[in-house]
Amino acid sequence: MYGLVNQGVQDLVVELGGEALWADIKQRAGVEFEAFVGMDVYPDDITGRLVLAASATLGLTPEEVLRAFGKHWILYTGRKGYGAVFETMGRTLPEFLGNLDAMHARLSLSMPHLEPPSFVCEQTGPGQLRLEYWSHRAGLAPMVVGLVEGLGELFTLDVHVKHTVTKGDRAEHDEFLIESEPARELTDAR
């Protein structure tokens, strides 16, 4: 993964408990880097170790950490200069989710080692979407829940996300049901 992801984890941890908490989590994870370089590529297991260390330190499950990170990631990347990219991805939540693969293709021009997931979004009813998440990385579905919740905030929608299909022996991808509450149309512009 690119260092930008690990920088995002650091940003979340520092926001939650300061630099001392970040130092503790890095030590517990066995991560010896003083700082992560955003455009450098790091082994995926470093991020995994940071998530597990944050889980143990904060008393949360790894899934809760990933969900919180997913939500934080939307705000963090917006502050790190990707907000302009977000604005071109769609004026509604379904448009934005439907354009995630195009956004990742655009980002791969400056990040040649990017190994992004793939998403398929379908509106299934008023205020209701089905989102498919395809990735070679295992265990990141809770992060997708947080990402969608963060996007809900971006689009000023109260969204509820339910993980309906889990990648495993019967499915090659994860699926999510996204509903807007109250039954407000997901197509309202932000």
Return d(Cα 183, Cα 132) in angstroms, integer.
22
Cβ pair 94, 22 in contact under 8 A:
no
Return d(Cα 106, Cα 44) in angstroms, integer.
22
The CATH number for 97's domain is 3.90.1520.10
Domain membership flag for residue 74: no
139-188 pLDDT per residue, tens: 999 999 999 999 998 888 999 999 999 999 789 999 999 998 644 445 54
Q: Which of 60, 80, 108 is the last residue of a domain?
A: 60
Give the pLDDT band of residue 82 (cuts 50, 70, 90).
confident
Structural domain boundaries, residue 28: 3-60
CB atoms within 10 A of CB 170: 7
Domain membership flag for residue 73: no
pLDDT > 90 in the chain, percent: 74
Residue-averaged pLDDT of the chain: 91
pLDDT of residue 155: 87
Domain membership flag for residue 101: yes
Domain membership flag for residue 72: no
Domain membership flag for residue 25: yes
Cβ pair 180, 158 in contact under 8 A:
yes
Tally of domains within the chain: 2
Instruction: Give the pTM.
Output: 0.91
| CB-based burial label for 63 (10 Å; 0-12, 13-18, 19+) | middle
Q: Does residue 127 share a domain with residue 46?
A: no
Domain membership flag for residue 161: yes
Task: Identify the residue whose tokens are 């003083």.
Answer: 34
Domain membership flag for residue 77: no
Domain membership flag for residue 26: yes
pLDDT of residue 169: 76
Q: Does residue 100 share a domain with residue 35?
A: no
111-148 pLDDT per residue, tens: 999 999 999 999 999 889 999 999 999 999 999 999 99
Q: Does residue 175 share a domain with residue 98?
A: yes
Tokens of 24: 């503790």
Return d(Cα 96, Cα 92) in angstroms, integer.
6
Return d(Cα 2, Cα 44) in angstroms, integer.
9
Q: Does residue 99 share a domain with residue 171?
A: yes
pLDDT greater than 50 at residue 62 = yes
